[in-house]
A and B are shown apart, each in its own frame.
Chain A
Protein backbone atom coordinates (compact mmCIF):
# COMPACT_ATOMS: atom_id res chain seq x y z
CA UNK A 1 0.00 0.00 0.00
CA UNK A 2 1.22 3.50 -0.82
CA UNK A 3 -0.38 6.31 1.12
CA UNK A 4 -0.06 9.97 0.26
CA UNK A 5 -2.04 13.15 0.47
CA UNK A 6 -3.22 14.83 -2.70
CA UNK A 7 -4.60 18.34 -2.42
CA UNK A 8 -5.30 17.80 1.25
CA UNK A 9 -7.02 14.39 0.92
CA UNK A 10 -5.34 11.18 1.99
CA UNK A 11 -5.32 8.23 -0.42
CA UNK A 12 -4.15 4.64 0.06
CA UNK A 13 -3.37 2.84 -3.19
CA UNK A 14 -2.25 -0.69 -4.04
CA UNK A 15 -0.03 -0.14 -7.06
CA UNK A 16 2.29 -2.06 -9.36
CA UNK A 17 5.81 -0.88 -8.37
CA UNK A 18 6.22 0.52 -11.91
CA UNK A 19 3.45 3.08 -11.41
CA UNK A 20 4.71 6.61 -11.67
CA UNK A 21 3.24 9.37 -9.55
CA UNK A 22 1.84 10.80 -12.79
CA UNK A 23 -0.02 7.60 -13.65
CA UNK A 24 -1.22 7.22 -10.06
CA UNK A 25 -2.74 10.69 -10.19
CA UNK A 26 -4.30 10.35 -13.62
CA UNK A 27 -5.30 6.69 -13.83
CA UNK A 28 -5.94 5.78 -10.21
CA UNK A 29 -7.19 9.02 -8.68
CA UNK A 30 -8.77 10.40 -11.85
CA UNK A 31 -6.98 13.72 -11.38
CA UNK A 32 -6.40 14.36 -15.07
CA UNK A 33 -5.38 18.01 -14.74
CA UNK A 34 -1.76 16.87 -14.57
CA UNK A 35 -0.73 16.07 -18.15
CA UNK A 36 1.56 13.49 -19.73
CA UNK A 37 3.60 15.07 -22.50
CA UNK A 38 6.83 13.14 -22.97
CA UNK A 39 6.89 10.79 -19.94
CA UNK A 40 10.69 11.39 -19.84
CA UNK A 41 11.26 14.57 -17.84
CA UNK A 42 11.73 16.66 -20.95
CA UNK A 43 8.56 18.77 -21.16
CA UNK A 44 7.25 19.69 -17.69
CA UNK A 45 3.57 19.00 -18.53
CA UNK A 46 3.44 16.64 -15.52
CA UNK A 47 4.79 19.16 -12.99
CA UNK A 48 3.30 18.83 -9.50
CA UNK A 49 4.42 19.95 -6.06
CA UNK A 50 5.73 17.30 -3.69
CA UNK A 51 5.97 18.69 -0.17
CA UNK A 52 5.81 22.15 -1.75
CA UNK A 53 8.62 21.55 -4.24
CA UNK A 54 8.08 21.24 -8.02
CA UNK A 55 9.04 17.96 -9.68
CA UNK A 56 8.23 16.04 -12.85
CA UNK A 57 5.72 13.43 -11.69
CA UNK A 58 6.56 11.21 -14.69
CA UNK A 59 10.04 10.62 -13.19
CA UNK A 60 8.70 9.74 -9.73
CA UNK A 61 7.76 6.24 -8.64
CA UNK A 62 4.54 6.51 -6.66
CA UNK A 63 5.88 4.01 -4.13
CA UNK A 64 8.75 6.37 -3.33
CA UNK A 65 6.29 9.07 -2.23
CA UNK A 66 4.66 7.22 0.64
CA UNK A 67 3.63 9.81 3.23
CA UNK A 68 4.26 12.80 0.97
CA UNK A 69 1.98 15.75 0.32
CA UNK A 70 1.19 16.26 -3.34
CA UNK A 71 -0.40 19.36 -4.85
CA UNK A 72 -1.80 19.28 -8.38
CA UNK A 73 -3.45 21.92 -10.51
CA UNK A 74 -6.82 20.81 -9.08
CA UNK A 75 -5.56 21.86 -5.66
CA UNK A 76 -4.58 25.41 -6.59
CA UNK A 77 -7.99 26.86 -7.29
CA UNK A 78 -11.39 26.09 -8.75
CA UNK A 79 -13.24 27.64 -11.71
CA UNK A 80 -15.01 30.08 -9.40
CA UNK A 81 -11.96 30.70 -7.18
CA UNK A 82 -8.90 30.83 -9.42
CA UNK A 83 -5.43 31.23 -7.98
CA UNK A 84 -3.68 34.48 -8.94
CA UNK A 85 -1.62 32.63 -11.54
CA UNK A 86 -4.61 30.82 -12.99
CA UNK A 87 -6.45 34.14 -13.31
CA UNK A 88 -3.40 35.77 -14.91
CA UNK A 89 -3.11 32.98 -17.52
CA UNK A 90 -6.79 33.54 -18.45
CA UNK A 91 -6.39 37.32 -18.48
CA UNK A 92 -3.21 37.23 -20.61
CA UNK A 93 -4.29 34.33 -22.81
CA UNK A 94 -1.15 32.45 -21.75
CA UNK A 95 -1.84 29.38 -23.92
CA UNK A 96 -3.21 28.15 -27.19
CA UNK A 97 -4.17 24.46 -26.91
CA UNK A 98 -3.74 24.54 -23.12
CA UNK A 99 -2.03 21.15 -22.82
CA UNK A 100 1.09 22.50 -21.15
CA UNK A 101 -0.84 25.00 -19.00
CA UNK A 102 -1.34 22.99 -15.77
CA UNK A 103 2.39 22.24 -15.72
CA UNK A 104 3.24 25.87 -16.48
CA UNK A 105 1.06 27.08 -13.62
CA UNK A 106 2.36 24.51 -11.12
CA UNK A 107 5.90 25.40 -12.11
CA UNK A 108 5.30 29.14 -11.82
CA UNK A 109 3.63 28.64 -8.43
CA UNK A 110 6.85 27.04 -7.18
CA UNK A 111 9.00 29.65 -8.94
CA UNK A 112 7.47 32.37 -6.75
CA UNK A 113 8.40 30.44 -3.61
CA UNK A 114 11.94 29.83 -4.88
CA UNK A 115 12.44 33.54 -5.58
CA UNK A 116 11.10 34.42 -2.15
CA UNK A 117 13.54 31.93 -0.62
CA UNK A 118 16.37 33.77 -2.39
CA UNK A 119 17.29 31.01 -4.84
CA UNK A 120 19.51 32.27 -7.66
CA UNK A 121 19.32 30.97 -11.24
CA UNK A 122 22.00 30.46 -13.87
CA UNK A 123 21.23 33.91 -15.32
CA UNK A 124 21.18 35.79 -12.01
CA UNK A 125 23.69 38.62 -11.72
CA UNK A 126 25.00 37.33 -8.40
CA UNK A 127 24.29 34.21 -6.39
CA UNK A 128 22.71 35.94 -3.38
CA UNK A 129 19.24 35.93 -4.90
CA UNK A 130 17.37 37.58 -7.73
CA UNK A 131 14.40 39.75 -8.53
CA UNK A 132 11.68 38.93 -11.03
CA UNK A 133 12.56 39.86 -14.59
CA UNK A 134 11.70 38.53 -18.03
CA UNK A 135 15.09 36.81 -18.27
CA UNK A 136 14.67 35.21 -14.83
CA UNK A 137 11.19 33.96 -15.72
CA UNK A 138 12.42 32.50 -19.02
CA UNK A 139 15.33 30.68 -17.37
CA UNK A 140 13.34 29.43 -14.38
CA UNK A 141 10.49 28.22 -16.61
CA UNK A 142 12.76 26.47 -19.11
CA UNK A 143 11.67 23.06 -17.78
CA UNK A 144 8.19 23.68 -19.18
CA UNK A 145 7.92 23.43 -22.93
CA UNK A 146 4.97 24.74 -24.93
CA UNK A 147 4.43 23.13 -28.31
CA UNK A 148 2.16 26.05 -29.28
CA UNK A 149 4.97 28.42 -28.35
CA UNK A 150 2.82 30.69 -26.23
CA UNK A 151 5.99 31.66 -24.34
CA UNK A 152 5.68 35.47 -24.54
CA UNK A 153 2.17 35.43 -23.05
CA UNK A 154 3.09 32.76 -20.50
CA UNK A 155 5.90 35.04 -19.28
CA UNK A 156 3.53 38.03 -19.24
CA UNK A 157 0.98 36.10 -17.21
CA UNK A 158 3.64 35.12 -14.67
CA UNK A 159 4.92 38.70 -14.47
CA UNK A 160 1.36 39.93 -13.98
CA UNK A 161 0.66 37.47 -11.16
CA UNK A 162 3.98 38.39 -9.55
CA UNK A 163 3.05 42.06 -9.58
CA UNK A 164 -0.37 41.29 -8.15
CA UNK A 165 1.31 39.38 -5.31
CA UNK A 166 3.53 42.28 -4.31
Chain B
Protein backbone atom coordinates (compact mmCIF):
# COMPACT_ATOMS: atom_id res chain seq x y z
CA UNK B 1 0.00 0.00 0.00
CA UNK B 2 1.13 3.55 -0.68
CA UNK B 3 1.32 5.70 2.46
CA UNK B 4 -1.83 7.65 3.34
CA UNK B 5 -3.22 9.78 6.13
CA UNK B 6 -6.00 8.15 8.04
CA UNK B 7 -8.70 10.53 9.29
CA UNK B 8 -11.86 9.65 11.13
CA UNK B 9 -14.73 11.91 10.12
CA UNK B 10 -16.71 13.39 12.99
CA UNK B 11 -19.78 14.30 10.92
CA UNK B 12 -21.02 14.10 7.35
CA UNK B 13 -20.08 17.70 6.83
CA UNK B 14 -16.62 17.04 8.22
CA UNK B 15 -16.25 14.05 5.86
CA UNK B 16 -17.22 16.15 2.82
CA UNK B 17 -14.77 18.85 3.81
CA UNK B 18 -11.95 16.34 3.98
CA UNK B 19 -12.65 15.05 0.47
CA UNK B 20 -10.50 15.94 -2.54
CA UNK B 21 -9.31 14.24 -5.73
CA UNK B 22 -6.63 12.51 -3.71
CA UNK B 23 -8.90 11.37 -0.86
CA UNK B 24 -11.18 8.36 -0.61
CA UNK B 25 -13.99 7.48 1.72
CA UNK B 26 -13.58 4.21 3.54
CA UNK B 27 -16.65 2.40 4.90
CA UNK B 28 -16.23 -1.39 5.25
CA UNK B 29 -12.96 -1.24 3.34
CA UNK B 30 -13.40 -4.67 1.77
CA UNK B 31 -13.06 -3.35 -1.77
CA UNK B 32 -10.96 -0.26 -1.23
CA UNK B 33 -8.21 -1.92 0.85
CA UNK B 34 -8.03 -4.82 -1.60
CA UNK B 35 -7.43 -2.33 -4.43
CA UNK B 36 -5.03 -0.20 -2.38
CA UNK B 37 -2.85 -3.21 -1.63
CA UNK B 38 -2.23 -3.71 -5.34
CA UNK B 39 -2.06 0.04 -5.98
CA UNK B 40 -5.03 0.12 -8.32
CA UNK B 41 -6.37 2.77 -5.98
CA UNK B 42 -3.80 5.07 -4.37
CA UNK B 43 -5.57 7.70 -2.24
CA UNK B 44 -3.23 9.79 -0.12
CA UNK B 45 -5.97 10.32 2.47
CA UNK B 46 -8.60 7.93 3.81
CA UNK B 47 -11.69 9.50 5.32
CA UNK B 48 -13.23 6.96 7.65
CA UNK B 49 -17.02 7.36 7.81
CA UNK B 50 -17.61 4.03 9.52
CA UNK B 51 -18.37 5.56 12.93
CA UNK B 52 -20.75 8.29 11.82
CA UNK B 53 -23.94 8.29 13.86
CA UNK B 54 -27.24 7.24 12.39
CA UNK B 55 -26.00 5.93 9.06
CA UNK B 56 -26.22 2.33 10.28
CA UNK B 57 -29.98 2.38 10.82
CA UNK B 58 -32.86 0.95 8.79
CA UNK B 59 -35.91 3.14 9.33
CA UNK B 60 -39.52 2.83 8.20
CA UNK B 61 -40.02 5.44 5.49
CA UNK B 62 -43.12 6.24 3.39
CA UNK B 63 -44.39 2.65 3.66
CA UNK B 64 -40.96 1.38 2.61
CA UNK B 65 -37.54 1.57 4.20
CA UNK B 66 -34.68 4.02 4.41
CA UNK B 67 -31.46 2.06 4.67
CA UNK B 68 -28.46 3.97 6.01
CA UNK B 69 -25.32 3.78 3.86
CA UNK B 70 -23.39 2.08 6.67
CA UNK B 71 -25.89 -0.74 7.22
CA UNK B 72 -23.89 -3.89 6.66
CA UNK B 73 -24.84 -6.40 4.00
CA UNK B 74 -25.55 -8.93 6.78
CA UNK B 75 -27.75 -6.52 8.74
CA UNK B 76 -29.73 -5.69 5.60
CA UNK B 77 -30.15 -9.29 4.41
CA UNK B 78 -31.30 -10.47 7.85
CA UNK B 79 -33.55 -7.53 8.76
CA UNK B 80 -36.97 -9.12 9.45
CA UNK B 81 -38.74 -6.42 7.41
CA UNK B 82 -36.50 -7.00 4.39
CA UNK B 83 -36.89 -10.78 4.58
CA UNK B 84 -40.68 -10.40 4.66
CA UNK B 85 -41.30 -7.54 2.26
CA UNK B 86 -38.36 -7.58 -0.16
CA UNK B 87 -37.08 -11.18 -0.10
CA UNK B 88 -35.24 -10.77 -3.41
CA UNK B 89 -32.94 -8.29 -1.68
CA UNK B 90 -32.06 -10.74 1.10
CA UNK B 91 -31.42 -13.51 -1.43
CA UNK B 92 -29.25 -11.37 -3.68
CA UNK B 93 -27.09 -10.15 -0.81
CA UNK B 94 -26.75 -13.69 0.56
CA UNK B 95 -25.67 -14.85 -2.91
CA UNK B 96 -22.70 -12.48 -2.79
CA UNK B 97 -19.24 -12.81 -1.26
CA UNK B 98 -18.90 -14.70 2.06
CA UNK B 99 -20.36 -14.29 5.54
CA UNK B 100 -17.12 -12.62 6.66
CA UNK B 101 -17.23 -10.05 3.86
CA UNK B 102 -20.97 -9.41 4.20
CA UNK B 103 -20.42 -8.65 7.89
CA UNK B 104 -18.06 -5.84 6.94
CA UNK B 105 -19.43 -4.66 3.57
CA UNK B 106 -21.76 -1.66 3.72
CA UNK B 107 -24.73 -0.68 1.59
CA UNK B 108 -22.97 2.39 0.14
CA UNK B 109 -19.68 0.56 -0.42
CA UNK B 110 -21.39 -2.36 -2.11
CA UNK B 111 -23.04 -0.02 -4.64
CA UNK B 112 -19.70 1.67 -5.36
CA UNK B 113 -17.49 -1.42 -5.49
CA UNK B 114 -15.28 -1.45 -8.57
CA UNK B 115 -15.32 -3.89 -11.46
CA UNK B 116 -13.64 -7.30 -11.29
CA UNK B 117 -12.23 -7.07 -14.81
CA UNK B 118 -8.78 -8.73 -14.53
CA UNK B 119 -7.16 -5.95 -16.58
CA UNK B 120 -8.45 -3.30 -14.17
CA UNK B 121 -6.69 -5.25 -11.40
CA UNK B 122 -3.40 -5.64 -13.25
CA UNK B 123 -1.42 -2.39 -13.18
CA UNK B 124 0.92 -3.76 -15.87
CA UNK B 125 -1.96 -3.81 -18.39
CA UNK B 126 -3.70 -1.03 -20.29
CA UNK B 127 -7.06 -0.07 -18.80
CA UNK B 128 -9.06 3.03 -19.64
CA UNK B 129 -10.95 2.76 -16.38
CA UNK B 130 -7.87 2.66 -14.15
CA UNK B 131 -5.55 4.80 -16.30
CA UNK B 132 -7.61 6.88 -18.76
CA UNK B 133 -6.34 6.86 -22.33
CA UNK B 134 -4.12 3.79 -22.03
CA UNK B 135 -6.46 1.51 -23.96
CA UNK B 136 -8.46 -1.59 -23.08
CA UNK B 137 -6.49 -4.83 -22.69
CA UNK B 138 -9.72 -6.80 -22.52
CA UNK B 139 -10.12 -6.13 -26.25
CA UNK B 140 -8.28 -9.09 -27.70
CA UNK B 141 -7.56 -10.42 -24.21
CA UNK B 142 -9.47 -12.98 -22.20
CA UNK B 143 -13.02 -12.19 -21.34
CA UNK B 144 -14.99 -14.59 -19.18
CA UNK B 145 -16.09 -11.96 -16.62
CA UNK B 146 -16.80 -9.19 -19.15
CA UNK B 147 -20.12 -7.56 -19.95
CA UNK B 148 -22.54 -8.34 -22.77
CA UNK B 149 -24.60 -5.15 -22.84
CA UNK B 150 -23.86 -1.46 -22.33
CA UNK B 151 -20.17 -1.73 -23.20
CA UNK B 152 -18.12 0.53 -25.47
CA UNK B 153 -15.00 0.17 -27.61
CA UNK B 154 -13.09 1.64 -24.68
CA UNK B 155 -14.36 -0.63 -21.91
CA UNK B 156 -15.96 -4.06 -21.64
CA UNK B 157 -16.08 -4.27 -17.83
CA UNK B 158 -19.11 -5.49 -15.87
CA UNK B 159 -20.41 -4.22 -12.53
CA UNK B 160 -20.02 -6.99 -9.96
CA UNK B 161 -22.68 -6.22 -7.32
CA UNK B 162 -25.47 -8.67 -6.56
CA UNK B 163 -27.22 -6.34 -4.10
CA UNK B 164 -27.49 -3.59 -6.72
CA UNK B 165 -29.36 -5.94 -9.07
CA UNK B 166 -32.03 -6.59 -6.42
CA UNK B 167 -32.25 -2.87 -5.64
CA UNK B 168 -32.76 -2.19 -9.36
CA UNK B 169 -35.57 -4.74 -9.67
CA UNK B 170 -37.26 -3.23 -6.60
CA UNK B 171 -37.10 0.33 -7.95
CA UNK B 172 -34.94 1.57 -5.07
CA UNK B 173 -33.31 5.02 -5.00
CA UNK B 174 -30.03 6.27 -3.69
CA UNK B 175 -29.95 9.29 -1.37
CA UNK B 176 -26.89 11.46 -1.97
CA UNK B 177 -25.68 14.24 0.30
CA UNK B 178 -23.69 17.12 -1.21
CA UNK B 179 -20.97 18.97 0.72
CA UNK B 180 -23.49 21.80 1.18
CA UNK B 181 -25.73 19.35 3.05
CA UNK B 182 -28.27 19.35 0.23
CA UNK B 183 -29.90 15.98 -0.56
CA UNK B 184 -30.78 14.51 -3.92
CA UNK B 185 -32.09 11.09 -4.85
CA UNK B 186 -31.52 9.01 -7.94
CA UNK B 187 -33.00 5.68 -8.99
CA UNK B 188 -30.30 3.02 -8.43
CA UNK B 189 -30.18 2.35 -12.17
CA UNK B 190 -29.34 6.02 -12.80
CA UNK B 191 -26.55 6.12 -10.25
CA UNK B 192 -24.29 4.43 -12.81
CA UNK B 193 -23.11 5.93 -16.08
CA UNK B 194 -22.27 3.76 -19.09
CA UNK B 195 -18.57 3.76 -20.08
CA UNK B 196 -18.74 5.41 -23.53
CA UNK B 197 -15.36 7.05 -24.05
CA UNK B 198 -14.95 7.82 -20.30
CA UNK B 199 -14.93 4.45 -18.51
CA UNK B 200 -13.08 6.09 -15.62
CA UNK B 201 -16.32 7.92 -14.77
CA UNK B 202 -18.60 5.27 -13.30
CA UNK B 203 -21.34 7.11 -11.46
CA UNK B 204 -23.24 10.36 -11.37
CA UNK B 205 -21.60 11.29 -8.03
CA UNK B 206 -19.82 14.64 -7.89
CA UNK B 207 -16.73 15.56 -5.88
CA UNK B 208 -17.47 15.40 -2.16
CA UNK B 209 -20.89 13.78 -2.53
CA UNK B 210 -21.58 10.93 -0.15
CA UNK B 211 -24.20 8.22 -0.43
CA UNK B 212 -26.14 8.49 2.80
CA UNK B 213 -28.99 6.03 2.25
CA UNK B 214 -30.89 3.74 -0.06
CA UNK B 215 -34.66 4.11 -0.14
CA UNK B 216 -36.90 1.11 -0.82
CA UNK B 217 -40.44 1.80 -2.01
CA UNK B 218 -43.37 0.09 -0.24
CA UNK B 219 -43.37 -3.71 -0.47
CA UNK B 220 -45.59 -5.59 -2.93
CA UNK B 221 -47.20 -8.35 -0.88
CA UNK B 222 -48.07 -11.43 -2.93
CA UNK B 223 -45.31 -10.96 -5.50
CA UNK B 224 -43.05 -13.93 -6.16
CA UNK B 225 -39.42 -12.88 -5.80
CA UNK B 226 -36.27 -14.70 -6.73
CA UNK B 227 -32.57 -14.13 -7.40
CA UNK B 228 -30.80 -16.70 -9.51
CA UNK B 229 -27.02 -16.45 -9.79
CA UNK B 230 -24.86 -18.51 -12.14
CA UNK B 231 -21.14 -18.66 -11.35
CA UNK B 232 -18.03 -20.75 -11.86
CA UNK B 233 -18.32 -22.45 -8.47
CA UNK B 234 -21.26 -23.13 -6.17
CA UNK B 235 -20.56 -20.26 -3.78
CA UNK B 236 -18.19 -17.34 -3.10
CA UNK B 237 -17.75 -16.29 -6.73
CA UNK B 238 -18.95 -13.34 -8.75
CA UNK B 239 -21.89 -13.76 -11.12
CA UNK B 240 -21.35 -14.76 -14.72
CA UNK B 241 -25.03 -14.01 -15.14
CA UNK B 242 -27.69 -13.30 -12.55
CA UNK B 243 -31.40 -12.58 -12.79
CA UNK B 244 -33.61 -10.89 -10.20
CA UNK B 245 -37.35 -11.22 -10.69
CA UNK B 246 -40.44 -9.78 -9.02
CA UNK B 247 -43.59 -11.27 -10.54
CA UNK B 248 -47.27 -10.83 -9.77
CA UNK B 249 -49.51 -13.61 -11.13
CA UNK B 250 -53.21 -13.53 -11.97
CA UNK B 251 -54.12 -17.20 -12.34
CA UNK B 252 -51.97 -18.55 -15.17
CA UNK B 253 -51.27 -15.07 -16.50
CA UNK B 254 -48.40 -12.79 -15.58
CA UNK B 255 -50.03 -9.61 -14.30
CA UNK B 256 -46.74 -7.77 -13.85
CA UNK B 257 -43.09 -8.67 -14.11
CA UNK B 258 -40.01 -6.71 -13.19
CA UNK B 259 -36.58 -8.08 -14.05
CA UNK B 260 -33.00 -6.97 -13.51
CA UNK B 261 -29.76 -8.62 -14.54
CA UNK B 262 -26.26 -8.85 -13.09
CA UNK B 263 -22.86 -9.87 -14.42
CA UNK B 264 -23.72 -8.73 -17.93
CA UNK B 265 -23.37 -4.95 -17.95
CA UNK B 266 -21.48 -2.00 -16.43
CA UNK B 267 -24.50 -1.41 -14.20
CA UNK B 268 -27.40 -3.51 -12.89
CA UNK B 269 -29.23 -3.98 -16.17
CA UNK B 270 -32.95 -3.39 -16.67
CA UNK B 271 -34.97 -3.38 -19.88
CA UNK B 272 -38.53 -2.06 -19.71
CA UNK B 273 -39.43 -3.63 -23.06
CA UNK B 274 -38.81 -7.10 -21.60
CA UNK B 275 -41.05 -6.38 -18.62
CA UNK B 276 -43.71 -5.02 -21.00
CA UNK B 277 -43.63 -8.17 -23.15
CA UNK B 278 -44.28 -10.31 -20.09
CA UNK B 279 -47.11 -8.23 -18.63
CA UNK B 280 -50.38 -9.93 -19.58
CA UNK B 281 -48.62 -12.94 -21.12
CA UNK B 282 -49.46 -16.50 -20.25
CA UNK B 283 -46.85 -18.15 -18.02
CA UNK B 284 -45.33 -20.52 -20.54
CA UNK B 285 -41.97 -21.39 -22.02
CA UNK B 286 -43.07 -19.65 -25.25
CA UNK B 287 -43.62 -16.35 -23.42
CA UNK B 288 -40.33 -16.72 -21.59
CA UNK B 289 -38.46 -17.42 -24.83
CA UNK B 290 -39.97 -14.27 -26.35
CA UNK B 291 -38.76 -12.24 -23.38
CA UNK B 292 -35.29 -13.75 -23.71
CA UNK B 293 -35.17 -12.98 -27.44
CA UNK B 294 -36.03 -9.37 -26.63
CA UNK B 295 -33.24 -9.10 -24.05
CA UNK B 296 -30.30 -11.07 -25.40
CA UNK B 297 -28.21 -9.21 -28.00
CA UNK B 298 -27.49 -10.80 -31.40
CA UNK B 299 -23.77 -10.83 -30.81
CA UNK B 300 -21.34 -10.49 -27.94
CA UNK B 301 -18.84 -7.61 -27.74
CA UNK B 302 -16.01 -10.07 -27.03
CA UNK B 303 -15.63 -13.62 -28.38
CA UNK B 304 -15.19 -15.03 -24.87
CA UNK B 305 -18.50 -13.58 -23.66
CA UNK B 306 -20.34 -15.31 -26.50
CA UNK B 307 -21.26 -18.06 -24.00
CA UNK B 308 -23.15 -15.52 -21.92
CA UNK B 309 -25.79 -15.16 -24.66
CA UNK B 310 -27.22 -18.69 -24.30
CA UNK B 311 -26.46 -18.60 -20.58
CA UNK B 312 -28.48 -15.41 -20.11
CA UNK B 313 -31.32 -16.80 -22.20
CA UNK B 314 -31.51 -20.03 -20.21
CA UNK B 315 -31.07 -18.34 -16.85
CA UNK B 316 -33.89 -15.92 -17.66
CA UNK B 317 -36.20 -18.76 -18.69
CA UNK B 318 -35.32 -20.82 -15.59
CA UNK B 319 -35.91 -17.79 -13.35
CA UNK B 320 -39.29 -17.08 -14.93
CA UNK B 321 -40.33 -20.70 -14.48
CA UNK B 322 -39.62 -20.32 -10.78
CA UNK B 323 -41.18 -16.91 -10.41
CA UNK B 324 -44.41 -17.96 -12.16
CA UNK B 325 -44.73 -21.18 -10.18
CA UNK B 326 -44.03 -23.57 -13.08
CA UNK B 327 -40.97 -25.06 -11.39
CA UNK B 328 -38.88 -24.92 -8.26
CA UNK B 329 -39.54 -22.55 -5.39
CA UNK B 330 -39.58 -18.83 -4.75
CA UNK B 331 -39.97 -16.43 -1.85
CA UNK B 332 -43.29 -14.62 -1.66
CA UNK B 333 -43.34 -11.05 -0.39
CA UNK B 334 -45.52 -10.53 2.68
CA UNK B 335 -46.92 -7.36 4.16
CA UNK B 336 -44.85 -6.02 7.05
B103 in complex: contacting residue of A44, A55, A128, A144, CB < 8 Å: A55
Q: How many A-B residue pairs lie within 8 Å, measured between CB atoms?
A: 97
- Nearest residue, chain B, Cβ from A2: B6
- 8 A Cβ contacts from B55-111 to A: 74, 77-78, 83, 87, 90-91, 94-95, 97-101, 103-104
Residues of A contacting B91 in the complex (Cβ-Cβ under 8 angstroms): 122, 127
CA distance A118 to B331 in the complex (A): 17
Q: Give chain A's interface secondary structure class.
A: loop
Using an 8 Å CB-CB cutoff, how does the interface string of B212-247 with A read, 1 for contact, 0 for none?
Answer: 000000000000000000000011100000000000
B33 in complex: contacting residue of A20, A44, A139, CB < 8 Å: A20
CA distance A117 to B78 in the complex (A): 10
Rounded to whole Å, the gap between the CB of B113 and the closest CB of chain A is 12
CA distance A41 to B331 in the complex (A): 30
Q: Please state if B99 and A140 are interface contacts (CB–CB under 8 Å).
A: yes
- 8 A Cβ contacts from A38-89 to B: 39-41, 44, 47, 53-56, 59-61, 63-64
Quick check: is B30 within 8 A (CB to CB) of the other chain? yes
Q: Please state if B26 and A44 are interface contacts (CB–CB under 8 Å).
A: no
Quick check: is B292 within 8 A (CB to CB) of the other chain? no
Residues of B contacting A138 in the complex (Cβ-Cβ under 8 angstroms): 234-235
Most buried by B among A20, A119, A128, A140: A119
Rounded to whole Å, the gap between the CB of B307 and the closest CB of chain A is 23
Residues of B contacting A37 in the complex (Cβ-Cβ under 8 angstroms): none
CA distance A138 to B234 in the complex (A): 10
B residues neighboring A (CB under 8 Å): 1, 3-6, 26, 28-30, 33-34, 37, 46, 48, 50, 74, 77-78, 83, 87, 90-91, 94-95, 97-101, 103-104, 234-236, 329, 331
Residues of B contacting A53 in the complex (Cβ-Cβ under 8 angstroms): 74, 103
CA distance A111 to B74 in the complex (A): 13
- Nearest residue, chain B, Cβ from A121: B94
Q: Please state if A59 and B46 are interface contacts (CB–CB under 8 Å).
A: no
- 8 A Cβ contacts from A86-136 to B: 107, 110-111, 114, 117-122, 125-128
- Assign chain A's interface to a size class: 35 or more
Question: With A63-B6, A64-B48 known to touch, is A142 a contact of B83 (CB < 8 Å)?
Answer: no
Residues of A contacting B95 in the complex (Cβ-Cβ under 8 angstroms): 122
CA distance A44 to B98 in the complex (A): 9
Rounded to whole Å, the gap between the CB of B2 and the closest CB of chain A is 8
Q: Please state if B98 and A59 are interface contacts (CB–CB under 8 Å).
A: no
Residues of B contacting A118 in the complex (Cβ-Cβ under 8 angstroms): 78
- Nearest residue, chain A, Cβ from B50: A64
A64 in complex: contacting residue of B26, B77, B235, B331, CB < 8 Å: B26
Question: With A64-B29, A127-B90 known to touch, is A122 a contact of B99 (CB < 8 Å)?
Answer: no
B78 in complex: contacting residue of A18, A119, A125, CB < 8 Å: A119
B236 in complex: contacting residue of A119, A120, A125, A143, CB < 8 Å: A143
Most buried by B among A53, A56, A107, A138: A56
Contacts A/B (CB < 8 Å), 22 sampled: A17-B6, A18-B3, A20-B33, A53-B74, A54-B103, A59-B101, A60-B104, A61-B29, A61-B33, A63-B48, A64-B29, A64-B50, A110-B99, A111-B99, A119-B74, A120-B78, A121-B94, A122-B91, A127-B91, A138-B234, A142-B236, A143-B98
Rounded to whole Å, the gap between the CB of B37 and the closest CB of chain A is 7
Residues of B contacting A140 in the complex (Cβ-Cβ under 8 angstroms): 99
CA distance A59 to B6 in the complex (A): 15
Residues of B contacting A107 in the complex (Cβ-Cβ under 8 angstroms): 99-100
Q: Please state if A143 and B100 are interface contacts (CB–CB under 8 Å).
A: yes
Residues of B contacting A41 in the complex (Cβ-Cβ under 8 angstroms): 30, 34, 100-101
Closest 4 pairs (CB-CB, A-B) = A143-B98, A142-B235, A17-B6, A142-B236
Q: Please state if B97 and A143 are interface contacts (CB–CB under 8 Å).
A: yes
Rounded to whole Å, the gap between the CB of A135 and the closest CB of chain B is 10
B235 in complex: contacting residue of A54, A63, A128, A139, CB < 8 Å: A139
CA distance A54 to B102 in the complex (A): 10
